[in-house]
Structure formats: C-alpha cells, structure tokens
Structure 1
Amino acid sequence: MVNLLVVTTLFPNSVQHRHGIFVETRLKKIMETGQVNAVVVAPVPWFPIKSKYFSQYSQYVDIPSKEHRNGVEIYHPRYLVIPKVGMLLTPFFLALAIFLTIFKVRKQGYKFDLIDAHYFYPDGVAVALASYFLKLPFVISARGSDINLIPNYLLPRKMILWAASKAQASITVSSALKEKMLALGAVEEKIHVLRNGVDDVLFSPKNYQQMRHNYSLKRATLLSVGNLTELKGHDLVIKSLLELPDCELIIVGGGELDKPLKQLAETLGLSERVRFMGTLKQPDLVELYSAADLLVLASSREGWANVLLEAMACGAPVAATSVGGTPELVKSPEAGVLVKERNASGLVKAISKALSLNIDRDLTREYAKKFSWDQTVENQINLYTKIVESHA
C-alpha cells in the first residue's frame, strides 16, 4: 500500500466544482485499485474579504480549510499571491503553506511515502522546495501551460528545470508535452508519458433525439466546452457561425470573457444561435455531449484535452485544433477531424467536413473506449511503488 500525498492548486472544491477535475478523476481511478491511500493538500490564494467588486477572488473566501470529497480528506491552506510580482514569489509562499500543512497533518498521525504534485509551476517548484525539509520523494505531473507557456519566462523556466532535476520522476499527459520538456533540457529517462483516460461509464451516451428535444435543438448543434478565456478560442467558434447558417452553438464554461463573448454574438447578429450555459457539472455535460452533433475545440494550446474524450465517449465526434496532445487523440475518421488553421475560416472548413461525414456515433464511442484508465493507472501505481521501494 502506497500512502500518497497529492499536492496541487488544481483540485475541485465545494465552490469550484470543476476546478482541476482531471486531477481528481485520476486520483479516484488510482484509489479504486485499493493499492493507494491518499490525502490531498490543495492550496488556494488568500483573499481578505468577500466583495461583489472582486467576484473572481471573493470565491476563495468561501472555500473551507478542510473538506471531504469522495472519501478523500482535502486541506485548503491559504498562500499569498502578490499582483505583478506574484509569478516569481508565489512558489515560495506556496511552499511555506504546503510545508506547514504537511507538518500539521503528520502530527495527527499520518505517514506519507510519496508526494504527487500536479502542474510544474508554481506547484511543482513549491513541492521541490518543501520536500527539502520534509525529506519525502516526489513526482511532478506536467499538464499543459506549465510547460507550453510559463517557460517562456527565464526565471520560471530555470525553476521548472531545477524542480524536474530534484523530482524522482516527471509525468506528462501526452508525448507532445514530453517533447516540450526535452526541448527545455529535462532528462529523458525521468519523464513518463501517462495520458488521461475517460470514464466511459460516467460519460455514456443518452438518447440523442430525447436530449435534443429536452434542449430545444433544431439545427446542427456545435458544442464548445472550456473556460471562457482567449486560449480556448470560443470567439472563433462564434465567428464561424457567420458561414454556417444551418448550425447553432452551445458554449459551456465560465470566466473573464463571459460578457465580451455574449457581446460578440449580439454584435454579429448571432444571439439566437448561440447559447451560453455557464459552468456545468458532469451529468449535465453528458446530456449536452449526447445532444451535440459536433464538439468544437479551438484552443491555441493544450496538454491533453479531456473534453475531446468525454464528448467522443458520449458519441459526439470532434473538430479540434492540432495543438499539444490533440493529434494523439484525433487519429481516426470516427474520432472527427483536426483543424488545420486556427481561425474562423479554418474552423468552418473543419466543421463542414466533419458534419458532411455523418460519422456513426456508436463508432465514435467505441473509439473513445480505447482510451480507458486501466493501463495508465497500472503504470502510475508501478511508478509509485518503484520510487517508494527505492527510498525505503
């Protein structure tokens, strides 16, 4: 039995239900084997007051210091984030919060064999700092922007490479992300590609016609799922509707571009064909995946886009930009098509092609089921066990 300590700022909580849900899903699948016990330390930024003028940050006030989800004990210590200079200082404040929390939890009788950190910066760097005093081996999982974007800054890049050198192993969710790490100068022998899988029981198709009736869908339905930020490209999907008069669009997600995207749809005269659903829980997403004719992902970068497998498992093929690990996912006609150019015109071409193929939804689901969690979970536990035994 491996006693695992999971440390990450990307983990769902009672306020942010989908925040880092991919980390929780992986942990859930690992614990289902009965070979791993886990406690989670998921720090959140400190914010002093709850105010309607700071709605994005005020939500942190409502997150409890401790909670339980799916039988797992989760701690939410606070750490300081200073505007403008926070990028360089945050790993140190985060390391302090992690160290103090683990010290307190250990005094309660918990014993840990290994730290499993998710997201290289600041989380992985903070764990590398804290582990120096905790004397625990650790692994760090790269997720996407932590390797695709943050290393563009000199000091964070140096800290990421330092943390990778101190870790017993680095995990990437795609081969593309591994190549990015190698390009930065990481040691190949320490990098393990362990992709995310899909829960094909949770993400199982509901009746297509019934779901379309429930949501009053009349046209070919496109679905765009993700945080409402620039990198997800929701604006490009909206603009593509100008050349797709027979299509309607449902957007799922929340974020800073909520109002601008709604304004864009109105300015383009598309409000009647664009529906904003906000942030949804997984059972609601299953209904929309089941009702959609096509999931459209217009991201500028991705590590491993879980929404692609979720949609496919519910029978919806995809049209997705060829970035990050996406080409490793969309490799067969029944999966959908890759978008060659990340602009509205490129999306129109890909969407039109995908819809014209009339892809069999049953074949799409069967394709997704090839990406089960079984092999990933087995390899992850083997890696944990090897590290723990070598440090016994």
Structure 2
Amino acid sequence: MLRVLVLSTLFPDASRPNFGIFVERQTRALAARDGVEVQVVAPRGLPTFPLDRHPRYAALSRQPIRENWRGLTVHRPRFLNLPGTGGAFHAGLIARALRPTLTELRRSFPFDVISAEFFFPDGPAAIALGKAFDVPVSIKARGSDIHQWTRRPGIARQIVRAGQAADGLLSVSLPLRDDMIALGMPAERIACIVTGVDLTRFAPRDRGEAKRALGFNAPLVASVGALIPLKGHDLLIDAVATLPGVHLAIAGQGPEAGRLAAKIDAMGLSARVRLLGAIPPERVAELLAAADVMALASASEGLANAWLEALASGTPIVIPDVGGARQVVTTPAAGRIVDRTSTAFAAAIAGLLHAPPAQADVRGVAAPFTWEANSERLHGFLARMVADRHGT
C-alpha cells in the first residue's frame, strides 16, 4: 500500500469551489487506484485577529479544520499569513504550522511520501517537512509557480533550493521541464506528466442546442481563466471587437473583473461580450460544448486544463506558443497557435469559424489525456521514489 500525503495551498473549499480544482481532480484519480491511500493537507493562510475577520479572509477562516471533500479526507490547518510581505515567509510558516498536524496525522496515516502540488510555497515547505518526518518529497510545477514566483530573487532562491533537494520533480509540459532545468534543477529527477481531462463531463453536444440553453444565438468564442493580466483577456476582447456578430463569453473571477467590465462598456461591446464570473465545472462543460472556438491569450502556461477541456468538448482552441501548446495542438483540427496579438487571434478565430473542424476530430486530440493515464503515471512515479528511499 502506498500512502500519499498531498500538500497543496491550491485546493478547493466551500468558499472557492473552483480554486485548484485540477489538483482535486488529480488527487481523486490517484486515490481511486488500487494500492493507494491519499489524504490532503490544504493549509489556510490567515492573519492574526482582527484581520482574519476582514472579508478577504473571513470565509477562509470559517473552513473546518478537517472534512470529507468529495470523497477525500482534507485537513485545513491554519498558518500565519503576514500581509504586506508578498508571501516571502509563507513556506517557513507553513512548515512550522504543519509539524503538529502531521505528527498527529502520522499516528493513523503513516504516509510514505509527500506530494507538493504547487512549487511555491508548497515545495520549500514540503522539503522541510520531508526532512522532519524522513519521507521522500515530490514537487510539481504547473506554470505560474515557476514563471511568476521566480521573478522575485528571494523567492526564486527558495524555489531552486527546494527543486535541488526534492527526491522527484514533476512538470505538466516539456517546455516547463526545460525552464526548471534552466533554473538549476536536476534534469534526471524531472518527469513530465501532463494533466488529464474528464472525457465524460467534457464531451461534444449539439452545439446549437447548447448555445440556446445558455442564451446565445450567434458565433461564440469562449475563454476560461482567472481574470488576471497573465491570461490576456484584453487581447480577446480587442480581437472579438473586430469580428462583427461574434460573441465572447469569459468564465472566471479575479481582480481584473471591474477593469474588464469597464473596457467592455467603453467599447460598446456589452451586447456581445459577457463576463460570466466563476461558474461550476458543469457549466464550464456546457459553455465549452456551446462554443465554436475556445481562445486563451495567456502570457505563460504550463499546460492549461482549459485547452484539454475544450478539445474534449469538440471545440478547437486558439492559443499562443506558450508552455505545452505544441504538445496539444498537434493537428489542424485542434486549432491554431498564434502570435500573442489581438490581430493574430482575430484572424485565427475567423478562420475556424469559416471552416470549423469536425467535432469528432477535435475530440480525438484530447483522447490520450485521461485522468486514468495521469494517475497511473503519478502512482508509478511516487512508488519509485519510495522504493528508492528504502533501497528496494
């Protein structure tokens, strides 16, 4: 029996059901495998009283210390969040806060390995805890954790040290693996295990009926991603503005919501561009099945789940040449890789609307990217780490 402790600051809760949902989905797939037991530690960063009552933290502070979350045992210990420090001390504070939790947990769940699911702050904290409990540690890179956090020298040093100390490292795409190696992480310890997609939930439907169910009756472009500058929603709005009659629906939440809404109003696009906010996975699936094209103009990615979810829905994608784009857009049916400009996005969207690929051909591109395949490789990777530690 392989007992895996999943450590992730990126994990859904009652107040943020879509937050890190891909980590949850991967973990549930791993837990479903024979010979594997999994428990999750999802630490909550909260400031001291009275700041923890601030609306930004209040819902998080009300989350239970332990709960059954969609079939997974999830522990949510609290660690000290120091506002204004930009997270520079989070890894050390997480490690300190989690030692009592893991000491108690290990009496009933003698975990064999710690699997950190985001490189910062999870990775450095996991290394400290792995040493304390004498278990191997795996750290997974997903994209923004490597591309964004390493822009800060102090945090970059923590990330690189953790990568060099880890027993195993994972990336979600081959280019991200190259980026990790360029930072000084050991190539021989890095495996690329791409993400999965739920081929049952995300599947082709009658596109006309799906559109009508969502209140659309026109060519539709969908985008799924947090409302942050990194995702490039401005570019998509500008692109669709040049395509008469084409509608754009953006699913996601984030600090850019107000500014994007103001931009849409100022451009007179309120009738054609909608900000849907955070919507549950079931509605994301409905949106992607209704869309003629899914576009995401990210400045960087690892390998975005939204790409695969769109393809599984029979919807071609338009994306820049970032992360694992070339691992996904492998045929013309999958869509287009374009320059990260509104002009290039508009041209690619128009081309796919004019000559849409068959839904079955698009879905075929996503067929190999199953959660079953993902969990099989992850199981093997973690099991080998444990065997290597014990010399078996």
Give TM-score scaled by structure 1 length: 0.95
User: What's the CA shift for 1:51?
Assistant: 9.2
User: What's the CA shift for 1:54?
Assistant: 4.8
Equivalent residue letter for 2:68: H
Equivalent position of 1:368 in the other structure: 366
Equivalent position of 2:385 in the other structure: 387
User: What's the CA shift for 1:363?
Assistant: 1.1
Equivalent residue letter for 1:103: T
* The one of 350, 353, 356 aligned to 1:355: 353
Equivalent position of 2:291 in the other structure: 292
Which stretch of structure 1 is more off in the superposition, 366-375 or 315-324? Answer: 366-375
User: 2:216 & 2:52 partners in 1: Cα distance?
Assistant: 35
User: 1:298 & 1:83 partners in 2: Cα distance?
Assistant: 31
Equivalent residue letter for 1:166: A
Equivalent residue letter for 2:345: L
1:96 and 2:96 correspond: yes
SS at match of 2:160: helix
Partners of 2:142 and 2:302 within 8 A in 1: yes
User: What's the CA shift for 1:49?
Assistant: 6.9
SS at match of 1:73: strand
User: What's the CA shift for 1:126?
Assistant: 0.8
1:34 and 2:34 correspond: yes
Equivalent position of 1:245 in the other structure: 244
How far does the alpha carbon of each residue in 1:233-276 deviate from its partner, in whole angstroms, 9 at most, with x for none?
A: 11211121221112001111111111111111000000011112
SS at match of 2:129: helix
User: 2:9 & 2:259 partners in 1: Cα distance?
Assistant: 27
User: 1:175 & 1:345 partners in 2: Cα distance?
Assistant: 28
Partners of 1:251 and 1:276 within 8 A in 2: yes
User: What's the CA shift for 1:6?
Assistant: 0.3
User: What's the CA shift for 1:357?
Assistant: 2.4
User: 2:9 & 2:362 partners in 1: Cα distance?
Assistant: 33
Equivalent residue letter for 2:22: F
Partners of 1:173 and 1:196 within 8 A in 2: yes
Change (3 A) 1:273 1:87: same
Change (3 A) 1:52 1:391: closer
Change (3 A) 1:73 1:221: same
Equivalent residue letter for 1:364: V
Change (3 A) 1:58 1:50: farther
Partners of 1:48 and 1:61 within 8 A in 2: no
Which stretch of structure 1 is more off in the superposition, 149-158 or 314-323? Answer: 149-158
Structure 1 segment 166-177 matched on structure 2, within 5 A: 166-177=165-176
Equivalent residue letter for 1:20: G
User: 1:28 & 1:48 partners in 2: Cα distance?
Assistant: 33
1:105 and 2:109 correspond: no
SS at match of 2:332: coil
SS at match of 2:19: coil
User: 2:70 & 2:388 partners in 1: Cα distance?
Assistant: 31
How far does the alpha carbon of each residue in 1:286-315 deviate from its partner, in whole angstroms, 9 at most, with x for none?
A: 111111111010111111100011011111
How far does the alpha carbon of each residue in 1:208-239 deviate from its partner, in whole angstroms, 9 at most, with x for none?
A: 22111112212210101111111111121112
Equivalent position of 2:223 in the other structure: 224
SS at match of 1:120: coil
SS at match of 2:217: coil
How far does the alpha carbon of each residue in 1:94-120 deviate from its partner, in whole angstroms, 9 at most, with x for none?
A: 11122221112224x221111111111
Which stretch of structure 1 is more off in the superposition, 201-210 or 163-172? Answer: 201-210
How far does the alpha carbon of each residue in 1:64-104 deviate from its partner, in whole angstroms, 9 at most, with x for none?
A: 22111232110111112223324321111111122221112
User: 1:89 & 1:48 partners in 2: Cα distance?
Assistant: 15
Structure 1 segment 14-53 matched on structure 2, within 5 A: 14-47=14-47
User: 1:72 & 1:242 partners in 2: Cα distance?
Assistant: 44
User: 2:52 & 2:176 partners in 1: Cα distance?
Assistant: 38
Which stretch of structure 1 is more off in the superposition, 360-369 or 187-196? Answer: 360-369
Partners of 1:303 and 1:325 within 8 A in 2: yes
Partners of 1:195 and 1:304 within 8 A in 2: yes
Partners of 1:206 and 1:286 within 8 A in 2: no
RMSD: 1.8
SS at match of 2:73: strand
User: 2:237 & 2:120 partners in 1: Cα distance?
Assistant: 32
User: 1:72 & 1:353 partners in 2: Cα distance?
Assistant: 44
Identity %: 32
User: 1:46 & 1:52 partners in 2: Cα distance?
Assistant: 6
Which stretch of structure 1 is more off in the superposition, 189-198 or 210-219? Answer: 210-219
User: 1:204 & 1:358 partners in 2: Cα distance?
Assistant: 17
Equivalent position of 1:336 in the other structure: 335
1:139 and 2:138 correspond: yes
Task: Extract unaligned runs of 5+ from structure 2.
Answer: none
